[in-house]
Amino acid sequence: MTDPITTGWPSSELMQDDCKALSKWLASRPDARRRVREVIAQIDAAQPPAADRDWRGMDGATAWHLIDRHADGWGDVGAMMEAWRVANLAAPPG
């Protein structure tokens, strides 16, 4: 994967979906949506599918973010949440 192109925008604003100035900036570039889709596809291709992820030790918020992004329907959500839960069960007292 190539290095991402810098936009000149602070990353804190790029993470927000309610930044009017950023929305206007994106709207002024006709190929912005295509470029965003291409970058997302590159990121997704570089990561293992969520179902094949090593869930051990992952906090719930991170797990939910990954599940929400990668699951294909509620059945997939349930399977991934269960995989996370099982991977993070505390070892029974010895």
Report the pLDDT value the prediction gives residue 39, as an integer from 0 to 100. 80
Report the pLDDT value the prediction gives residue 24, as an integer from 0 to 100. 78
Report the pLDDT value the prediction gives residue 94, as an integer from 0 to 100. 47
Residues 29/60, Cβ–Cβ less than 8 Å: no
| Residues of the chain below pLDDT 70 | 1-17, 47-51, 90-94
Compute the distance between CA of residue 85 and CA of residue 78 in angstroms, rounded to an integer.
10
Compute the distance between CA of residue 34 and CA of residue 90 in angstroms, rounded to an integer.
44
Residues 88/58, Cβ–Cβ less than 8 Å: yes
Show me where the domains of the chain are located. 10-46, 49-94
Report the pLDDT value the prediction gives residue 7, as an integer from 0 to 100. 62
Report the pLDDT value the prediction gives residue 6, as an integer from 0 to 100. 61
Distance set, CA 49 to CA 21, 26, 60, 65 (Å): 34, 29, 17, 13
